[in-house]
A and B are shown apart, each in its own frame.
Chain A
Amino acid sequence: MVHLQKIHESLAARGVLVFVIAMHPDAGEARKLTRELGVTFPVFQGHGSTLGDLYAYG
């Protein structure tokens, strides 16, 4: 997340969108962590979604 934030800060002006799909099972905890990490790019809530089930695997 920290590295993505740096990419966001360096490339946003060139039109690059950085985003995360949050798969943390606890949305409240994910929100807390996201704020603590200083993330300013868009974060989708993906836990429990069909998209997450299909694509979020190692």
Chain B
Amino acid sequence: MTRLVQPVSGLRPRTAGLPGLCVTAAAFVLIASSAAAQGVGDRIPPIRLKTTAGENGRLAAEGGALTLDVAGKQTNPKVLLVHFLQPDCLQCEAEARALDAMTAECGGTGAVILGLAHRGNAASVAAFRDRLKLAYPVLLLEADEASTKLAAGDATRIVDRTGVIRFAQAGFGDGDQRTWREAISALLDGREVKATAPARAVLKAGDRMPVIELPALIGDGKLALRGTEGGLAFEDTQDRVTRPSAAVGFFSRY
């Protein structure tokens, strides 16, 4: 298997929710990570970092080269995948596990995986890293104007050697690793990144909720929830229909 990403030399391995849907009447709001202001084609701004041990770090694109400086150890990744995460986010945890699997296959190429926590403190981030036994570094992102342009919810950016963001996505879904590998390989080979972030829908207040018609987890048959002009309609596995006054739902990975 192609080895794409290597841990940052000299750093201890560091460590990494679910969207909720709130349904009222015929509309629902998806509580998900908001799109970060900086995207593909933008140069990554200088951002300040801290290790869970309290050492300072910095990520910046200066002099045409991307530089990661942590506790006095400087590297110039050929490709950098940054996962902006929250240590209490199950979605982030799922992505961290996927990234960890890639770390093992990617050493020696100049590509680096880095987790940056934009919520939580040193203890919670260290606990996250240690619990998942992550082989790549997870640092804390210092909150400032630059970091808020990048970090929101569960977000991923792949940055080239000059510091330009070449791939951006929100959230994580099974199979995203394939897209990351394509993007990283292209950058390592000096090719254009053709991989695009998976299509994901964003619902806003006022949108009509999609029909939810899926098998019941427990028991036989299907469950359905529909938002219609006449209000919500819930159908259970026995085809009985009730009309809730409101609904509150979450995606859950448990």
User: Residues on A close to B: CB < 8 A?
Assistant: 1, 4, 7, 14-25, 27, 29-31, 33-35, 42-46, 49, 51-58
Contact = CB atoms under 8 A, between A and B. Distances in A.
8 contacts: A18-B249, A20-B251, A30-B217, A46-B214, A55-B210, A57-B19, A57-B200, A58-B171
Nearest to B214: A44
Interface of B: 17-19, 21, 23, 30, 32-33, 89, 91-92, 95, 153-154, 170-174, 198-201, 203, 210, 212, 214-218, 223, 225, 232, 234, 236, 242-254
B183 to A, nearest CB: 18
Contacts of A23: 18, 251-253
B212 A20 contact: no
Contact of A43 (B33, B216, B247): B216
Contacts of A52: 173, 251
Nearest to B211: A51
A23 B252 CA distance: 5
Contact of A55 (B153, B201, B244): B201
A29 B253 CA distance: 11
A10 B215 CA distance: 26
Contact of A44 (B33, B210, B215, B243): B215
A1 to B, nearest CB: 6
Which of A1, A43, A55 gathers most chain B CB within 10 Å? A55
Q: Chain A contact residues: over half helix, strand or loop, or mixed?
A: mixed
B248 A16 contact: yes
Contacts of B243: 15
Contact of B244 (A7, A17, A49, A56): A17
A49 B214 contact: yes
A53 B252 contact: no
A56 B225 contact: no
Contacts of B249: 17-21
Which of B212, B243, B254 gathers most chain A CB within 10 Å? B254
B15 to A, nearest CB: 17
A18 B214 contact: no
Contacts of B232: 17
A26 to B, nearest CB: 9
